[in-house]
Amino acid sequence: MTTLKGKDILDGAQFTRDELEQIMAVADDFRGQLEKKRGLDLLKGYVLAAIFFESSTRTRLSFETAMHRLGGAVIGFSSAESTSVAKGETLADTIRMVDQYADVIAMRHPRIGSAREAAEMAVAPVLNGGDGAGQHPTQALLDLYTIRRERGSLEGATIALCGDLKNGRTVHSGAEIYKHYGCRLICVAPAALQMPDEVVARLRGFGVTVELTSSLEEALPQADVLYMTRIQKERFADPAEYERLKDSYILTREMVERLRPDVTVLHPLPRVNEIATDVDALANAAYFRQAGNGVFVRMALLALVLGVV
């Protein structure tokens, strides 16, 4: 039996298949329990620090909801401006301190590698809620959970990842997780925003079939799952480049119905323009259910790293 007790959750590549299965099973168990009862008391007396140096809606609120549903307490902040970072405090010093207040830390920060730096400082497990254009493993886990719930299995599925694959941290983590399930990946992006070469090379080294294209029309008919992403405006140094690329892909209901009516459509959200709102009513548009699943998966992660399940 694997154990995640005391472990940090930093990137998508860290998991074994057994660990993934364990997280999925615990998340499912919590979902079942919450259907009968609004909350549990497994983490009564424990404190989560949710420290978000960069904007967030779902990740922060679902971490907080997860902790509350488990009977624990939450401290934290949702922007660096309201903290001593505004006075010049370093991340290392902030973490040293938060580590003394809390049993577990969920953090988001604009710098790649920041979660790993924090994990090196902190005794408490650190859960990476997004480090710049790096990784976002807890999102990728809830994406995995959603695909299984929507489709039963992802064994051998073709997953099309579409949008800003260069800067999108959820797909960086996701690709590392899908590789355990024999999935074929189609990376759909303009050349300037394609999946980083080193990620593609690593996946291929692992035996994953990875195809690269800029055409959503070409990829969609082959896809069991279409994972749309936002063009990550905040990561562009040149606003003109963002303007040029921002509407690279817009998925419409007509496209789904014509090209792949049974595709499962996911999106980590927030959506800007890349999925027309007329897609929302399709039974296989799963992105709002996906956001809801974040609570069960984050409950599982909190309970596992704190060693109470």
Closest to ligand NCD by CB, 229 or 264: 229
Q: How far apart are CA 66 and CA 297, in angstroms?
A: 8
Give the CA count within 13 Å in the CB-facing half-sphere of 272: 12
Q: Which of 268, 279, 296, 303 binds ligand NCD (CB under 6 A)?
A: 268
The verdict on 60 binding ligand NCD (CB under 6 A) reads no
**What x-and-dash track marks residues 76-115 binding ligand NCD by CB under 6 A?**
----------------------------------------
ω into 270 cis (within 30 of 0): yes
- The verdict on 59 binding ligand NCD (CB under 6 A) reads yes
Render 255-289 in DSSP notation, one character per residue: HHHHH-TTPEEE--S--SSSB-GGGTTSTTB-HHH
Q: Which of residues 2-31 bind ligand NCD (CB under 6 A)?
A: none
- Candidate residues 139, 146, 173, 248; the one interacting with ligand NCD per rule CB under 6 A: 139
In terms of phi and psi (left: phi > 0; alpha: psi -120 to 50; beta: otherwise), the region of 110 is alpha
Backbone dihedral angles phi then psi of residue 108, each to the nearest 5 degrees: -135, 140
Instruction: Please identify, using beta-carbon distances, which residue of 42 and 265 lies nearer to ligand NCD.
Output: 265
Task: Tell me: does residue 269 bind ligand NCD (CB under 6 A).
Answer: yes
- Taking residues 166 to 205 in sequence order and writing x for each that binds ligand NCD by CB under 6 A, - otherwise, the string is ---xx-----------------------------------
3-class DSSP state of 1: coil
Indicate the residue among 42 and 275 with the shorter CB distance to ligand NCD: 275
Whose Cβ is closer to ligand NCD: residue 269's or residue 306's? 269
- In Å, what is the CA distance from 6 to each residue of 3, 119, 199, 302? 9, 11, 27, 10
Please state the closest distance from residue 246 (CB atom) to ligand NCD, in A: 13
Spell out, one character per residue from 219 to 238, where the chain touches ligand NCD: x when CB under 6 A holds, - when not: ----------xx--------
Burial of 138 from C-beta contacts in 10 A (0-12 / 13-18 / 19+): buried
Task: Give SS3 for 60.
Answer: helix
Binding site for ligand NCD (CB under 6 A): 58-59, 130, 136, 139, 169-170, 229-230, 268-269
